[in-house]
Amino acid sequence: MRNMSPFGRRTRLVPAVALASLAATLIACGPARSSSAASARERAYRESNVGVARLEQFDYREAAAAFRRALAIDPSLSIAHLDLAIALFYDSQLDEAEREARLAADAMPSAPQPSYVRGLIARAAGRDDDAAAAFGRVLAIDPRDVGARIERGQLLVAKRNYADAAALFEQALAAEPFNATAAYGVAIALTRGGRAADGRDAMARFQRLRDNPASITYDNVYMGQGRYAEAVSSTGLEPELIDPAVPAVAFVDAGAPAGDQATPPRPDPAIAFGEPIDVTGGAGPALARAAASLARSVTLADLDGDGALDLIAPSGDSVAIFRNSGGRFDRAAPTTLRFDGTTPLAAIAGDYDNDGRSDLFVLGYPSNRLYRQDESGRFTDVTQPAALPAARALARTAAFVDLDHDGDLDIVIGGLASLPQAFAPGGAGTFPDAFAPGSNQLLRNDGNGRFSDVTRDAGVAAAGHAVAIVPTDFDNHRDVDLLVVGYGGRPSLFSNLRDGAFRDVASETGLPADGPYTAVAAGDVNKDGATDFFFGRRGAGGLLAMSDGSNRFTVADAPADTRDAVASQFVDYDNDGLLDLLVLTPRGARLWRNAGQSWMDVGARALPAAARSGDDPPVSMALGDLDGDGDIDAVVRLASGRIRVWRNDGGSARRSLRVDLKARVSNRSAIGSKVEMRAGSLRHKLETMSTTPAVEPADVLFGLGARDRADVVRVLWPAGIVQAEVEPPQLRGASTTAAMPITELNRKPSSCPYLFFWNGSRFEFLTDFMGGGEMGSWAAPGVHDAPDPDEYVRIGRDRLQPRGGRYELRVTNELEEALFVDRLQLVAVSHPANVDVYPNEGLRSKAARRPFALYATRAARPPLRAVDENGRDVLDRISRIDRRSVDDFVLEPIQGYARPHGVTISADVAGATRVLLLLTGWTDYAFSSDNVAAHQAGLAPEPPALQIQDEGGIWRTVVPEIGVPVGRPQTIAVDLTAVLPPHRRVVDLRIVTTLRVYWDQILVDTSDPAPFMVARVDPREATLRARGF
């Protein structure tokens, strides 16, 4: 649907049936609101946001209270009625929930959420027919919704209509292939419907899905019953929140960077996709000419760590680097990179070796180069030491990205034309079709300064004519996927399978089919939390692929004047909090403002006049806040090869927040982070990338529109750590922008359960435990650890006290792990007062595990002496539990790993008939991704082993695995009686490992065994309840 306005032509953003921007339908668009009413609505939104946060903490009562406060401020806020219904439903207040859901349905007749919630309420109340009708209304609005299909299918199973139920479950599974609940429903429906063989096959499929960490399982808790059972919060796309007036914001040509003589006009014309090429002299010379004409890229990156974006641009046989000084670019001659025998085409920046300094990977013809930046800021060619393989293809696109989430940056390259050079059989004489397709290349960072070519194993080769790569977590499964777009083929969307391999799911997600694609942009345009795409095409307007929030895309035409796009980016040029679309074409640059449900052409007023013509048009661009004033500027490369800087004039009139990320656990460039900002009614998400051509701005800058401040910034780091900062900096004085540095928390993304006990006056933390029972963890790629399901935790004498005549303990599940508890039991040990009792605990490999046993000790004492790996006396440190551990050893860069280290002790064992070693400590664990990284770097985990020095001074291992302490702390009892040499008065022992094990206390016991009695007590009562975060 199109109309004309005084501001120019508008085109629909998405088709009317698209549900991705559904939030825009949740609030009726009425007349303009007064400033006081708008202020009240904004306050109501903020209260509603608090309610959504409380729901995510499973605090349903407080969530309901917040939604009621929002409605008290503004009774017309429809989403607050819906969200209140959800909170009341999960708080089991079904009648009140039904009333609120009806109010929401009356206010939002075209939204599926109210009917979905009413269906859940009806099921909970036993009104199955009403539930079926409600879910039917949902499917009438959104025929593809997975949750409604599963709910109706389960209702049909209850009515023994197995055939229709199986069909619904199959449809749900086709829409969401990783949905284990749908797979289970298929198996049950087929089996009960008499199709036993099909049911067995379906059950096997369910079991495979159940064991897949990427699978989706529905349950009866909040966020576990489908997307339409989740609270709706404002996004900023609601019609009443969008200012239709075009602001006085424009890009102004600020000239060329200082020293731009480094990039003089090129004699070779810029080549365009689909145009005839000179094939004189064969494939080699033709490809060389094509490569030279492609060398018109620009890259923005903070190379010197000063917070300002520097400029990298290839030119002839070198790469020119311009340092940003106060918003101006100055040529930094000492760091100009010169190439011999290679034409540099484009560069990406990233800290591949995690030393805190950005390095450069440069695409070139016929070879690519890797440059490492040293402490002085100089770049050194490390292509050979890094073992980079030869290029497989001429490439114009590449990305730094941590695809295996092991904490370092890998390199992915998109092939444009094959190397060695060859014409395509029967190919047309146009670029790039004249050349044989090039294959992609994935270079895995091994963490030791070297890279390995894992393209074949990863399954991403896919020969084609790649024009752009977008590393993005398209399905929000917390792993980075790859979109590779090529000229003349279908886009490939490689879903990360988390085992080093990828699967192309483009055809399953609704992305467009084959086409002459020439450019890509990426960003969360419709604010559903998932990435949307723009695809530029030769000879036609571009396409918009909008995510629907459930791993599928709705494709619609972009504005017609995007035809022949050569570069594109989504950018919030006016700081209103919505992503706009900037496109470069052979006819000049074009800019469309996001007006919510339409695109408004604002190029005539917002772009330099020269840039909008076909005379020396811009052919590449990089965007970012160059002068730190809080709006996005641009650097463009013209067809002639010259560089121009476009300063944003007016965008900073609206407030903005810049987020500066500093990674400590993830790759140090923080590439692959997802940053979400919420400011009252506005929500916006950005992802950090390092790609060429750039598909998004180079820094993380959030426009706030009319809002005076941000409420919260949430970062999902590549390491899996979720970090929310609730006190963004406030604007001061006349400033309209603020910078918010966020340093990654050096904490685990998950944690073992915690054990608390009643000590007579309060619940006291004892330890974390059950770590040895972790399921699915990797010891190496494809190699799973064998979980140890049993663990005995020692509670010292007189610590556990009765409460109301009972002993009470509490087990809490921390962070994001799923906890499966089969049995909890109290083991009471009666023993003499001068005796201590320890279980034989400690995590060991499956082959080294021992049956349960207890050791009774008397008068355990510190050893005669103790020294660490460096010969330092640590006897005082290990004589008592005081959190002063032996910690002076060298850590490997990979979490959980260390250089070989140990503690050497001397023990007096004269006359002993039994010798026990009691080692108390804790372990800084490695996670699966760490073990993968260690395997790639050639590191092997060596668990703590016990060695004895023989009379000849040779250390000999006598206990290969004494056990890893899995609690904080845990005592490991080691019986040395059988391994000690006879007739030795003093024995020297050494505990060695390559794990990060910190010993807090080491005691020796030479007493004889003491008597004790054991009684096992099962719980009288067990209660499961939510406790939030």
Is the pLDDT reported for residue 311 higher than 90? yes
Strand partners, 692: 398
29 in any annotated domain: no
* Confidence (pLDDT) at 750: 66
**How far apart are alpha carbons 499 and 516 in whole angstroms?**
32
813 in any annotated domain: no
| Residue 499: pLDDT band with limits 50, 70, 90 | confident
Is the pLDDT reported for residue 36 higher than 60? yes
239 in any annotated domain: no
User: Does 287 share its domain with 327?
Assistant: yes
The residue among 342 and 333 whose pLDDT is bigger is: 342
Is the pLDDT reported for residue 262 higher than 60? no
Spatial contact of 885 and 877, defined as CB atoms under 8 Å apart: yes
Is the pLDDT reported for residue 981 higher than 90? no
**How far apart are alpha carbons 658 and 651 in whole angstroms?**
14
**How far apart are alpha carbons 451 and 386 in whole angstroms?**
6
Give, as one character, the DSSP assignment of residue 450.
-
Spatial contact of 789 and 843, defined as CB atoms under 8 Å apart: no
**How far apart are alpha carbons 220 and 218 in whole angstroms?**
7
User: Does 705 share its domain with 632?
Assistant: no
* Confidence (pLDDT) at 25: 38
**Domain end point (choices 614, 630, 662):** 662
* Confidence (pLDDT) at 952: 86
User: Does 169 share its domain with 280?
Assistant: no
C-alpha separations of 335 from 114, 240, 373, 674 in Å: 60, 51, 9, 32
pLDDT digits (tens, 9 = 90+) for 84-120: 999 999 999 999 999 999 999 999 999 999 999 999 9
227 in any annotated domain: no
* pTM value > 0.85: no
Q: Closest by alpha carbon to 117, among 75, 82, 151? A: 82
Cα Rg of the chain, angstroms:
32
C-alpha separations of 477 from 149, 469, 497 in Å: 22, 19, 10
Is the pLDDT reported for residue 425 higher than 90? no
* Helices 113-124 and 146-158, packing angle to 10 deg: 30
Spatial contact of 350 and 322, defined as CB atoms under 8 Å apart: no
User: Does 326 share its domain with 443?
Assistant: yes
pLDDT digits (tens, 9 = 90+) for 167-191: 999 999 988 887 899 999 999 999 9
User: Does 614 share its domain with 520?
Assistant: yes
**Domain end point (choices 743, 759, 777):** 743
* Confidence (pLDDT) at 732: 75
765 in any annotated domain: no
Is the pLDDT reported for residue 680 higher than 90? no
Is the pLDDT reported for residue 726 higher than 80? no
| Residue 424: pLDDT band with limits 50, 70, 90 | confident
1025 in any annotated domain: no
Is the pLDDT reported for residue 129 higher than 70? yes
* Confidence (pLDDT) at 8: 31
Beta-strand relationship, 481-489 and 441-445: unpaired
User: Does 623 share its domain with 527?
Assistant: yes
Strand residues in 387-428 grouped as ranges (E): 393-394, 397-401, 410-414, 417-418
**How far apart are alpha carbons 919 and 905 in whole angstroms?**
12
Burial state string for 406-433 with b = 16 or more CB within 10 A and e = fewer than 16:
bbbbbbbbbbbbbbebbbbeeeeeebbb
Is the pLDDT reported for residue 23 higher than 50? no
- The arithmetic mean of pLDDT across residues 121-130, rounded, is 96
* Range of lowest pLDDT (40-54, 136-150, 665-679): 40-54
Give, as one character, the DSSP assignment of residue 114.
H
Burial state string for 47-84 with b = 16 or more CB within 10 A and e = fewer than 16:
bbbbbbbbbeebbbebbbbbbbbbbebbeebbbbbbbb
Burial state string for 274-292 with b = 16 or more CB within 10 A and e = fewer than 16:
beebebeeebeebbbbbbb
CA atoms within 13 A on the CB side of 705: 24
Beta-strand relationship, 655-662 and 737-743: parallel
- The arithmetic mean of pLDDT across residues 343-360, rounded, is 97
Range of the domain at 928: 831-1015
User: Does 728 share its domain with 846?
Assistant: no
* Confidence (pLDDT) at 30: 41
User: Does 691 share its domain with 599?
Assistant: no
List, in order, residues 6 or more apart from 635 with CB less than 8 Å away. Answer: 257, 298, 300, 311, 621, 622, 623, 626, 643, 644, 645, 646
User: Does 695 share its domain with 582?
Assistant: no
Is the pLDDT reported for residue 144 higher than 70? yes
CATH number of the domain to which 1008 belongs: 2.60.120
List, in order, residues 6 or more apart from 287 with CB less than 8 Å away. Answer: 365, 394, 417, 421, 435
Is the backbone of residue 71 left (phi > 0), alpha (psi -120 to 50) or beta? Answer: alpha
**How far apart are alpha carbons 297 and 620 in whole angstroms?**
6
729 in any annotated domain: yes
Main-chain dihedrals φ then ψ at residue 727, nearest 5 degrees: -130, 65
* Confidence (pLDDT) at 16: 30
The residue among 211 and 203 whose pLDDT is bigger is: 203
- The arithmetic mean of pLDDT across residues 686-696, rounded, is 98
* Range of lowest pLDDT (174-178, 319-323, 561-565): 174-178
User: Does 540 share its domain with 512?
Assistant: yes
Q: Closest by alpha carbon to 90, among 135, 132, 136, 54? A: 54
Indicate the number of domains in the chain: 4
* Confidence (pLDDT) at 28: 36
Is the pLDDT reported for residue 27 higher than 50? no
CB atoms within 10 A of CB 248: 12
Q: Closest by alpha carbon to 601, among 585, 622, 617? A: 585
**How far apart are alpha carbons 575 and 557 in whole angstroms?**
25
**How far apart are alpha carbons 491 and 534 in whole angstroms?**
12
pLDDT digits (tens, 9 = 90+) for 826-866: 999 999 999 999 999 999 999 999 899 999 999 899 999 99
CATH number of the domain to which 547 belongs: 2.130.10.10
pLDDT digits (tens, 9 = 90+) for 903-955: 999 999 998 999 999 999 999 988 888 888 899 999 999 999 999 998 888 99
Summary mean pLDDT of the chain? 90
Which pair of structure tokens corresponds to residue 660? 């500066």
- The arithmetic mean of pLDDT across residues 260-288, rounded, is 77
- The H or E element containing residue 744 is none
* Range of lowest pLDDT (559-563, 569-573, 703-707): 703-707
The residue among 210 and 586 whose pLDDT is bigger is: 586
Q: Closest by alpha carbon to 21, among 474, 543, 527? A: 527
In Å, how far from its chain's centre is CA 222? 22
* Confidence (pLDDT) at 1014: 95
Spatial contact of 848 and 960, defined as CB atoms under 8 Å apart: yes
**How far apart are alpha carbons 789 and 792 in whole angstroms?**
10
**How far apart are alpha carbons 899 and 669 in whole angstroms?**
25
Spatial contact of 173 and 186, defined as CB atoms under 8 Å apart: yes
Strand partners, 141: none
- Residue whose tokens read 């530029």: 536
* Confidence (pLDDT) at 266: 59
User: Does 431 share its domain with 354?
Assistant: yes
* Confidence (pLDDT) at 213: 53
CATH number of the domain to which 66 belongs: 1.25.40.10
* Confidence (pLDDT) at 29: 38
**How far apart are alpha carbons 723 and 1023 in whole angstroms?**
30
**How far apart are alpha carbons 811 and 768 in whole angstroms?**
9
**How far apart are alpha carbons 618 and 404 in whole angstroms?**
36
264 in any annotated domain: no
Is the pLDDT reported for residue 883 higher than 80? yes
Beta-strand relationship, 410-414 and 397-401: antiparallel
User: Does 865 share its domain with 901?
Assistant: yes
* Confidence (pLDDT) at 20: 32
